[in-house]
Amino acid sequence: MIPSIEMTPDMMIVFGFLIFVTLLFVFEVVRVDMVGLLMMVLLPLSGVITGPQAISGLSSNAVVSIIAVIIIGDGLDKTGVMNIFARQIIKFAGKSEVKIMASIAGTVAFISSFMQNIGAAALFLPATNRICRQLNVPISRILIPMGFCAVIGGCLTLVGSSPLILLNDLMAAWWANNPDVLGDKTFEAFGLFSVTPIGIALVITAILYFIFFRKFILPKVQSNTAPDCLLNHDLDCTYGEEIHNAYELNIPLNFETKRLDELKIRPLYHSTVICICKQGKRDGRLRVTVPARADIIEPGDIIGVISNATHIKNLAQDLGWELCHELNRLNEVLSPDSSGIAEAIVRPRSELVGKTLHQAYFRKIFQVNPLALFRRDKVFYENISETKIQVGDALLLFGQWEKFHLLRRKKDFAFTEHIQGELMHPEKAGFAIGSLILALVLALGFNVQLSIALLTGAISMILTRVLTIDEAYQGVDWMTVFLLAGLIPLGIAFEKTGAALYLSTSIANLMQGALTPLILFLLIGFLTSFFTLVISNVGATVLMIPLAMNMAVQCNADPRMAALLVAVAASNTFILPTHQVNALIMRPGGYKVKDYVRAGSGMTLLYIGVVMTIMYFFYGISA
């Protein structure tokens, strides 16, 4: 019989706060980060914890790690490193939402097996954003599976999550304090891959869960399908009659090679060739160029054209070109994530005034395509490159966003709206990768505290000028930071007041007479899963392992298996956005608390079911 504990006033206050927070989450009375801020204020005012404890979450290992890893991920994204991952997944998955989801979730689960799950999720978040934008897949259909698998991936090895890292030490301490309980039986520590069968089964189950039930459990959002028009409402009113969308055309093998200017595509069809894609003769890679009038169009080329539906059909029919129903080979080049249309006004002191775009080698230098010229309430679509530029002319341009950022630096134009995208720095990719490797080596090779190791990598990004310090500040999701920083004090209050111990011992004593090894392990699994939602997974592990091992001895079950179950069940945290990973993906995915409840409820039950099944058949939990 486990000694019972008396309920105290402080415990009652903490249980009241738990109910209060749950109601705020469920009914969404305030934004989730405001819930965290309320806890930072109300808990010390109630007297259950001190002021320093209430704000200790801001300096916690988890919060500092999130800030640092977001900065590292931002640096990897800005140098194009994450594009490599994105291309490989797109190459494998194509445009299938199921394949994309499974590929991303499986990859993040694998990465999470050797680094902290929050790090794996945050590092892959930029690549996931790019993949979803390029393929017009709603990111809300991808991030919850990715986040859940990042958490589960920590169960693949004994270094994948904090609870599993603590497992052997906590077991050894219990064994040393209870030398007479198990007689001559010696303590055996778990190996690095002792938990791997459970982790593999959980990852596979999670991916299958989302494959078969995604339509019912993931948020029903409007698909980010390709826009009907490349232009926003204001530009559409001016230019929309002739300029509508980007199209991909294949040049057939029987086409007679011609120069671009010989085809007279702009005057005949009011269409603009924006890129020519040729197959490399040596390496077979596609080479995409911004076309000049003297460029050659030959069989096998892939052409990108800006036009409207009527003109592009006439062009394809007259020239015998094959019009693709959607962007295929040019999807990455012409996706809204990487390129688009911008309107630029010629400044009074522009070097272009009095010159034609052809004389200024405009396309060649800036790698953007002029689509139309607006002057004195009239739009011109023909002979734009041969028209002398005047002050106040508005040019409609198409190009990659990074080219527009370079053009803006020249001060020749005033852009009429914010330019999307950002200027990439692929030349600094080596510094970005080196910063990540530095963080991993410090954390894994020298056992430096994770937050310090990641912060070292983040600072390295700034010192090597991969990012400016202002860009680093702007990249951090402060909503996530304050949500977690505010919930950590609630966990501290739960442990400090003894509320967590009171609840666990009360339930254990209540079921004492009915406990068999199987029921005991189910009870341990559910109790640990509950505590990891309201206190940290580390706190739940520290609390539950000694309790579970004591209960296992009383039921003639293996205490090692009970401890292992606690360490694995401490990652069963899907129903609320209280886990660091769930909080991280909440805003990028546009999720509400009810989305976690809907997707996480089934995952929680499956998680316990799979863990119990594997432990019963492969680990002998009744021994």
Evaluate whether 233-335 and 342-416 have a shared fold. Answer: yes
H or E segment at 571? none
Q: Give the integer Cα–Cα distance in Å for 551 and 529.
A: 17
What secondary structure letter does DSSP report for 619? I
CA-nearest of 99, 109, 114 to 147 is 109
Q: Give residue-wise pLDDT tens across range 112-122.
A: 887 778 778 88
Backbone angles phi, psi at 33, to 5 degrees: -70, -25
Contact 357, 385 (CB under 8 A): yes
Q: Give the integer Cα–Cα distance in Å for 192 and 194.
A: 6
Q: Give the integer Cα–Cα distance in Å for 76 and 86.
A: 12
Q: Determine the pLDDT at residue 317.
A: 94
CA-nearest of 379, 184, 190, 402 to 290 is 402
H or E segment at 216? helix 196-217
Q: Determine the pLDDT at residue 364.
A: 86
- DSSP sequence for 74-125: HHHHHTTHHHHHHHHHHHHHTT-HHHHHHHHHHHHHHHHTTS-HHHHHHHHH
Residue extents of the structural domains in the chain: 233-335, 342-416
Q: Determine the pLDDT at residue 319.
A: 94
Token digits of residue 170: 């906590």
Q: Determine the pLDDT at residue 284.
A: 57
Where b means 16+ CB within 10 Å and e means fewer, 579-595 reads bbbbbbbbbbbebbbeb
Q: Give the integer Cα–Cα distance in Å for 413 and 405.
A: 11
Contact 87, 505 (CB under 8 A): no
Residues in the chain predicted with pLDDT less than 70, given as ranges, are 1-4, 181-184, 220-229, 280-286, 512-514, 622-623
Fold of 233-335: Alpha-Beta Plaits (3.30.70)
H or E segment at 547? helix 537-554
CA distance to 322, 344, 573, per residue, from 163 (Å): 58, 55, 13
Q: Determine the pLDDT at residue 535.
A: 78
CATH no. of 342-416: 3.30.70.1450
Token digits of residue 23: 């109601």
Contact 66, 584 (CB under 8 A): yes
Give start and end residues of each alpha helix (H) in 324-449. 331-334, 362-366, 401-409, 429-440
Output helix, strand, coil percentages for the chain, rounded to the nearest 5: 60, 10, 30
Backbone angles phi, psi at 306, to 5 degrees: -100, 125
Q: Give the integer Cα–Cα distance in Å for 409 and 69.
A: 30
What type of residue sits at position 274?
I
CA-nearest of 273, 372, 385 to 330 is 273
What secondary structure letter does DSSP report for 427? G
Contacts of 186 (CB under 8 A, 6+ apart): none
Q: Give residue-wise pLDDT tens across range 282-301.
A: 655 667 778 888 899 999 99
- DSSP sequence for 333-357: HHSTTTEEEEEEEEPTT-TTTTS-T
Contacts of 50 (CB under 8 A, 6+ apart): 44
Count Cβ atoms below 10 Å from residue 440 Cβ, excluding itself. Answer: 16
CA distance to 276, 293, 349, 364, 388, per residue, from 358 (Å): 19, 10, 19, 9, 9
